[in-house]
């Protein structure tokens, strides 16, 4: 009898190779990651926004690499699909990036994403200045990450915030070309426009040199199949799970408080046995027999 405490998982690179369109769900805990895997997502995004929000802190480089690494590693331990770790700006300079890659690889993470803002960064959707790092300096971070990796499978996603900062599609194209030259395995183009038009303009001019990852938070009506047809290789639903959790908790707990009991909720919330199943309680109890 054995308990698979840390399930094996394919690398993110192999998942990308197997799935022409890889669907990725954001999570901040192993519980959220397991549910994402159960419903069919091929990978899980260890979101810095979600991980920060779970501690009621802003996504503004307040937490340390250790905080984010611990959260990503705990998610990965519970999954049989890979985690893509949101590593913000790389937690510092190129020396920090090298250390980050070594530590994330050691924890079993096979993919990381870095963005080209200056440190400390602010969440892309916050009303704030979003100043970018010099493209050459960020390219050096990418080069460092690729040089530091031990496994050929390790996957580095270069995220440009050019469109977030208002510099437009041309600057995003220029930067992504530079990051491709630096050895990035994929590029992530981010937009906070209410439509997909800005991202489509990028895709129409991109030469398909590297896979493109998108995060359709502000243009949620873009169907995954349509995105793939336009040239997208991976879609990250980065924070919908967190937002759904907030709404559900507020509704359920508010209702309990107002009515003084929870009987009316029992048919619409998970049973305790569902929690036991997610905890694999039955497997653990075999050790007490």
Containing 239, the helix (H) or strand (E) segment is none
Half-sphere exposure of 274 (CA within 13 A, CB side): 9
Q: Mean pLDDT throughout 173-185?
A: 98
Q: Which two tokens stand for residue 157?
A: 């996603």
pLDDT tens per residue across span 17-58: 999 999 999 999 999 999 999 999 999 999 999 999 999 999
Containing 186, the helix (H) or strand (E) segment is strand 186-189
Q: Which residues have C-beta within 8 Å of that of residue 37, sequence separation ≥ 6?
A: 44, 79, 80, 81
Q: Mean pLDDT throughout 56-83?
A: 97
Q: Which residue pairs, CB below 8 angstroms and at least 24 apart, start in 122-126?
A: 122/58, 122/59, 122/60, 123/49, 123/58, 123/59, 123/60, 124/161, 124/164, 124/190, 124/192, 125/192, 125/217, 125/218, 126/58, 126/59, 126/60
Helix (H, G, I), strand (E, B) or coil at 49: helix
Report how far residue 226's alpha carbon sits from residue 200's, in angstroms, rounded to the nearest whole number: 11
In the chain, list all ranges with CATH 3.20.20.60.
12-238
Region of residue 108 (phi > 0: left; psi between -120 and 50: alpha; otherwise: beta): left
% pLDDT > 90, the chain:
90
pLDDT tens per residue across span 90-140: 999 999 999 999 999 999 999 999 999 998 888 888 877 889 999 999 999
Q: Which listed residue (59, 86, 116, 185) is catalytic?
A: 59
186, 234 in Cβ contact below 8 A?
A: yes
Q: Is 90 exceeded by the pLDDT of residue 4?
A: no
Instruction: Determine whether 274 is an active site residue.
Output: no
Q: Mean pLDDT throughout 69-80?
A: 97
pLDDT tens per residue across span 127-150: 778 899 999 999 999 999 999 999
Residue appearing with tokens 């040199």:
209
pLDDT tens per residue across span 153-172: 999 999 999 999 999 999 99
Average pLDDT, the chain: 96
Q: Mean pLDDT throughout 206-235?
A: 97
Can you give the pLDDT at residue 92? 95
Can you give the pLDDT at residue 123? 87
Supply the DSSP symbol for 154: -
Q: Mean pLDDT throughout 258-280?
A: 96
pTM of the model: 0.96
Length of the chain counted residue by residue: 289
CATH 3.30.70.920 assigned to domain 12-238? The reply is no
Confidence of residue 3 (pLDDT cuts 50, 70, 90): low
pLDDT tens per residue across span 9-18: 999 999 999 9
Report how far residue 112's alpha carbon sits from residue 154's, in angstroms, rounded to the nearest whole number: 8
Can you give the pLDDT at residue 6? 74
Can you give the pLDDT at residue 2? 58
Confidence of residue 1 (pLDDT cuts 50, 70, 90): very low
Can you give the pLDDT at residue 126? 80
Q: Which residues have C-beta within 8 Å of that of residue 137, sequence separation ≥ 6?
A: none
């Amino acid at each position: 009898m054995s308990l698979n405490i840390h399930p094996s998982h394919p690398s993110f690179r192999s998942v990308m190779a197997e799935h022409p369109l890889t669907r990725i769900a954001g999570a901040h805990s192993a519980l959220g990651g397991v549910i994402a895997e159960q419903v069919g997502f091929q990978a899980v995004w260890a979101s810095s926004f979600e991980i920060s929000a779970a501690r009621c802190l802003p996504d503004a480089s307040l937490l340390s690499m250790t905080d984010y690494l611990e959260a990503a590693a705990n998610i990965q331990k519970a999954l049989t699909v890979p985690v893509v770790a949101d590593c913000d700006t790389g937690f510092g300079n190129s020396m920090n990036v090298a250390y980050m890659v070594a530590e994330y690889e050691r924890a079993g993470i096979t993919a990381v994403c870095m963005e080209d803002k200056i440190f400390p960064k602010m969440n892309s959707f916050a009303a704030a200045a979003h100043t970018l790092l010099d493209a050459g300096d960020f390219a050096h971070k990418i080069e460092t990450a690729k040089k530091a990796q031990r496994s050929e499978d390790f996957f580095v996603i270069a995220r440009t915030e050019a469109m977030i900062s208002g510099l437009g599609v041309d600057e995003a194209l220029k930067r992504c070309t530079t990051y491709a030259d630096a050895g990035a395995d994929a590029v992530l183009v981010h937009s906070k426009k209410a439509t997909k038009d800005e991202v489509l303009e990028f895709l129409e001019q991109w030469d398909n040199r590297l896979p493109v990852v998108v995060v359709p938070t502000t243009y949620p009506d873009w169907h995954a199949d349509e995105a793939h047809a336009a040239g997208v290789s991976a879609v990250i639903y980065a924070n919908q799970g967190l937002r759904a959790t907030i709404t559900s908790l507020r509704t359920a707990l508010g209702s309990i408080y107002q009515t003084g009991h929870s009987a009316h909720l029992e048919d619409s919330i998970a049973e305790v046995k569902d929690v036991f199943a997610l905890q694999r309680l039955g497997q653990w109890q075999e050790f007490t027999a």
